[in-house]
A and B are shown apart, each in its own frame.
Chain A
Amino acid sequence: MPLSGANSLRNGPDEDGRFGIFGGRYVAETLMPLIRDLEAAYDHAKTDPEFAAEMADLRTHYAGRPSPLYFAERLTAHLGGAKVYLKREELNHTGSHKINNTLGQILLARRMGKTRIIAETGAGQHGVATATVCAKFDLPCVVFMGATDVKRQWPNVLRMKMLGAEVRPVTAGAGTLKDAMNEALRDWVTNVDTTYYLIGTAAGPHPYPAMVRDFQKVIGEEIRAQIMDAEGRLPDALVACVGGGSNAIGTFYDFIDEPSVAIYGAEAGGHGIDVENGHAASMTGGRPGVLHGNRTYLLQDADGQILEGHSISAGLDYPGVGPEHAFLHDMKRVNYVPITDTEAVEAFQLLTAIEGIIPALESAHAMAQVIKLAPTMGKDQVIVMCLSGRGDKDVETVGRMLGMIE
């Protein structure tokens, strides 16, 4: 029986933007009036049939939805347990799930009369998806990207530039996603009159976590219909990778109140959870704190200073996580598990070799969890994994690790 009413785990956020104790609006006063305006604009758009119609049209004809649900037959046989289905978000326009969110937010930015778009990006997938919609809707776009990530994800940097975006490398800190987000917030505070901050993940101040989830929940809704077609039943398990957690919350949301569906979020275990500052698994290895507008699980030291963390995957290399995931972790509804760099690279190789699908290193973390999980389940059981992005951007990183590049 699905959970419902007060027992539902899908009642968040409340009017203060909280999922349990997580979430909120921890931003500078300069941004508060805009945050309230955004909330009002989104509340209005949410119930506006015209907005829904515009989104539906763009999803079908621009993004290419619905994305296929693919039965990975050879992978299933290789793992020798549950049937593995892949939700092919990497086949969306721009190569990841990120386009689901940027289409929604760009429509909102236009409604609010904003004339300039900024975004942060880690792996560059969100940056590319933002640059893409800015090209389509003719809005200037500035993408903040950590200098380390600019180097390790250069194919995406080129794509953003070709799409007309300005990419600003951020050298502060370790030059990764956290630092890019700080710099984007500084830009936003400075240019608040004209600028819309198009946040890429289900985190940040309210209403971003709920809004991004709502734009991504199409993933899970499609999975439900597609798996009913294919198997006539709900899946036994769902798996997605979690950095900030937008593809994961999009995948999970439709199933949160279905107790028969086990849910797994693969966090970036980096060099290992025991290695200090050597991973980015904020729920397994962090504790609640306040950063970037929300209370959530954070990697931090004893004095409340935020750690940089580490992951081979630029998209998961972030010391926090969306507040709804923090809530689902505390409620023990979702099982968040760390996957090491090595496990992710092995999963990347396996999926590439036996299914002919090169996954993003982010998605390879989810695949690594599937590799662990499937053999423990019966052959009559079903796992659906969100393949959130394609791995073209990562072939150089993996090639170097495997000694294929001098």
Chain B
Amino acid sequence: MTTRFADRFAACARENRPALGIFTMAGDPDPATSTAILKALPGAGADFIELGMPFSDPMADGPGVQAAGQRALAAGQTLNRTLAMVAEFRTTDSDTPILLMGYYNPIYIHGVDRFIADALAAGVDGLIIVDLPAEEDDELCVPALKAGLNFIRLATPTTDDRRLPVILKNTSGFVYYVSMTGITGAAIKSHAAVGDAVKRIKSHTELPVAVGFGIKTADDAAIIGRDADGVVVGTAICNAVLGSLVDGKATAGTVAAVTTLVSGLASGVRRARA
């Protein structure tokens, strides 16, 4: 198993702060700019990276991430290009954990065994596949774990104590708690409820628990990061890219728009428990 996630969460725990996970859509708004954003993330304060694999039909994503995926696909992004981006990233960064996040069909079409081999060769540490619940573990989860790739499962507010063991069974790396029943980019209704849920999950597992969906600002990151081992920001990153575009094209300010946001979020996680 690749150990970058375990090492990074342990390092952040030693600093008594949550890890900051940043989601960015591979290929948005174009391959070169997207690669530049990816490479700039660790320096701006990202502790781990979720690299989105764009899909034509992202059923769990809100408008912000949907639009980012559409921009990426329009610019010619493919699964092979996404894997190549990770390999390129690894030429300059061998420590920051990266997971690929997306939907199953492009992987199925690529071929599961070939995908796992290609992902490991590129330097990927884990996978989050939204439409592969525990019931479908034989498809990708089990062979990925066997090959040494972390398979990170989503737990949600509907995952009760009866179901938690089912989803934790084949989970590795960390548990990703979805803060709400909803799509990416919606608003968190109760921070307290999220904290309670994180504690509940932690009573079932030794794995770190990171929270995503609905975290947009440094304050959100600070509040959620009080209880969680990690916080993930995605839609706000996609929206920052969008805000920097002119006529749909990247500008000189695109990478900076993302790194400025990430720096602010990084300060948020550093005062979560201060």
Interface residues of A (CB under 8 A from B): 16, 24-34, 172-173, 178, 182, 185-186, 189-193, 289-293, 298, 300, 302-306
Contact = CB atoms under 8 A, between A and B. Distances in A.
A186 B180 CA distance: 13
Contacts of B255: none
Main secondary structure of the interface of A (DSSP, over half): mixed
Given A29-B156, A303-B106, A304-B106, A182 B57 contact: yes
Given A29-B167, A30-B158, A305 B59 contact: no
A302 B109 CA distance: 8
A304 B160 contact: no
Given A29-B153, A190-B182, A305 B163 contact: no
A30 B73 CA distance: 27
Given A16-B135, A24-B136, A33 B163 contact: yes
Contact of A29 (B55, B56, B159): B159
26 contacts: A26-B133, A29-B154, A29-B156, A29-B158, A30-B154, A30-B157, A30-B178, A32-B135, A33-B158, A178-B57, A186-B59, A186-B60, A189-B59, A189-B181, A191-B181, A193-B181, A289-B108, A290-B104, A291-B105, A303-B79, A303-B106, A303-B110, A304-B105, A305-B55, A305-B73, A305-B106
Interface in B48-99: 55-62, 66, 73, 78-79
Interface core residue of B73, B155, B183 (most chain A CB under 10 Å): B183
Interface residues of B, number: 42
B159 A189 contact: no
Contacts of A16: 135
Given A25-B135, A289-B105, 10 more contacts: A24-B135, A27-B133, A29-B153, A29-B155, A172-B66, A185-B59, A189-B183, A293-B131, A303-B110, A304-B107
B181 A30 contact: yes
Contacts of A191: 181
Contacts of B79: 303-304
B186 interface: yes
**Residue among B79, B103, B158 with max Cβ neighbours from chain A (10 Å):** B158
Interface string B137-170: 0000000000000000111111110010001000
Contacts of B157: 30
Given A186-B183, A189-B60, A306-B105, A28 B55 contact: no
B257 interface: no
Interface string B159-202: 11001000100000000001001110010000000000000000
B131 A26 contact: yes
Contacts of A300: 105, 109
A190 B183 contact: yes
Nearest to A306: B56
B59 A28 contact: yes
B59 A292 contact: yes
Interface in B228-259: none
A28 B133 contact: yes
Nearest to A293: B131
A294 to B, nearest CB: 10
B109 A33 contact: no
